[in-house]
Structure 1
């Protein structure tokens, strides 16, 4: 039962920084924020499992495995049951005991626990890590992006279109008008949401 579990492992940002500086061989770093946040700025060599209602539901119903979510984006071979250490971070979680059981992060951590040797959560999340170690992050801190009124796949009010497939995004008319993703074309069907695709 979930209540009988041992306390969740945590990792200090300094320890993750040390692992990254020393090559982090065998350590898989997972970013559990939205695709837009990850695409903007993330920890070096991290892999994104975006926090969406769609991914959450598929994980809960066992319609997708953790390795299926990780492998396409990972530079290392990922195999369940292997003695591989995993570090997960979100935007700013400090106290893992306060996570709701039905939150995306709790569900993701539970699935990772069943597949990997050691799973830790980064204390303070990306907010703390990026402020202490900006040189160990890729991308650029994003300016405030225009808000979108249509975010069917995101659990909270986030900005911009939602990634559906590697080259397919779902967004609203406002996303298109604001040109959130440049280099995309728009497939418009009257009365339906806009479908953004790479040119």
Structure 2
């Protein structure tokens, strides 16, 4: 911890007011905690638990802890920040930072890959800062309380409107919304939340406003025979393109429960580097009725396995781990074959799969939109 200084809350507040471009705040809490509330301008730094466990004794890369934040990584490597401030929930001082904590992993990564940057711990963490300066924090608006299925059924029968069509689309991320076909058919709803593109995850829901919005179709049915996973990367790229153009995309199917929820879960897993259970809880808190069918859940589990395997392989390669022997052409061929031919239903692999799958989409064989 000799490389870690300490910073009090008033100093961080002064940075935020006067010189926030040169001070980087790294929030070392979980994805769920960060999205529930964080200090204004902070970036979420974290890594998969399995990577943290396997990487004992090695330094994680900035790509591991800051996935999806390319500009921040570049500025760190170039020494463009005069200070980096780390914080978790409530660690009081540097002497109490645990060796196996995310704080320590982030500290080691920043020390190894940044150039001449002073690194500090925010004393008392987010809890103390929020108690003293709530106006400098961003809190998620209160989410509806999750209700039991019986109360949902009762509410639906009493109002005469299907539960999935009540309310409006929900915000998953500032540029990503989840909803139903009914929401996608109401232009005033779409314009009200600033939608510029729609991702239609169905084979039969019409695109009502072709001239007004950008559309993309993923023609899949909601049944156990469909391979929705072969569309994951194409869907993720489309959502990214809307985000990069400062737009907002509504992902919908018919009810906004299974197919479109599956795509949103895959996006969070890939781009936010979170496990399926964490992504599912995050989306469920915003749209409590999501329920991907059993086959789609199996495909998401396999996608998670591939992401975890790729993350670990990349980390091991970057640290030149002796645990990775020479690449076997036989193993690679077998792995590739298994990825391409094995059915998704009830197939939850735990072995390392071919990482190239995540970068070279097998979409050539997918049906046209």
Fold match (TM-score > 0.5)? yes
Structure 1 stretches of 4+ moved >4 Å:
57-64, 74-77, 141-146, 190-195
5 Å-filtered alignment, 1:91-170, equals 91-116=89-114, 117-140=117-140, 164-166=269-271, 170=276
**Alpha-carbon distance in 2 for matches of 1:52, 1:68:** 9
1:39-86 superposed Cα distances (whole Å, 9 cap, x missing partner): 111011110013641452476576962156437337655242515221
Q: CA RMSD in A?
A: 3.8
Match of 2:62 among 59, 66, 69: 66
Q: Is the 8 A contact 1:92 1:127 kept in 2?
A: yes
Q: Would the alpha carbon gap of residues 141 and 89 (structure 1) be closer, same or farther in structure 2, given more than 3 Å must change?
A: farther
TM-score normalised by the chain length of structure 2: 0.40
| Larger relative contact order, structure 1 or 2 (CA cutoff 8 Å, min sep 6) | 1
Name the residue aligned to 1:171.
277
Q: Determine which structure has the larger helix proportion and give its number.
A: 2
Structure 1: gaps of 5 or more residues: 147-160
Aligned residue number for residue 188 of structure 1: 294
Please give the alpha-carbon distance, in whole angstroms, between the structure 2 residues aligned to 1:9 and 1:58: 28
Q: Which runs of 5+ in 2 are unaligned?
A: 147-264, 302-369
* Pair 1:43 & 2:43 matched: no
8 Å CA contact retained: 1:67, 1:80: no
SS in 2 for 1:189: helix
Task: Show the counterpart of 2:332.
Answer: none
Alignment partners' CA distance in 2, 1:142 and 1:34: 18
* Deviation (angstroms), 1:21: 0.9
1:104 Cα deviation from its structure 2 partner: 2.2
Q: Which residue, out of 52, 55, 65, partners 1:56?
A: 52
Using a 3 Å threshold, how does the CA distance of structure 1 residues 44 and 100 change in structure 2: closer, same or farther?
same
Distance 2:107 2:144 in 1: 29
Question: Paired residues, what number?
Answer: 175
Q: Secondary structure at the match of 1:33?
A: coil
Give the TM-score taking structure 1 as reference length: 0.68
Distance 1:143 1:131 in 2: 21
Tell whether the 8 Å contact from 1:59 to 1:65 is kept in structure 2 after alignment: no
Q: 2:13 aligns with which of 5, 13, 17?
A: 17
Q: In the alignment, what sits opposite 2:210?
A: none
Counterpart CA distance in 2 for 1:92 and 1:10 is 13
| Inter-partner Cα distance in structure 1 for 2:79 and 2:50 | 27
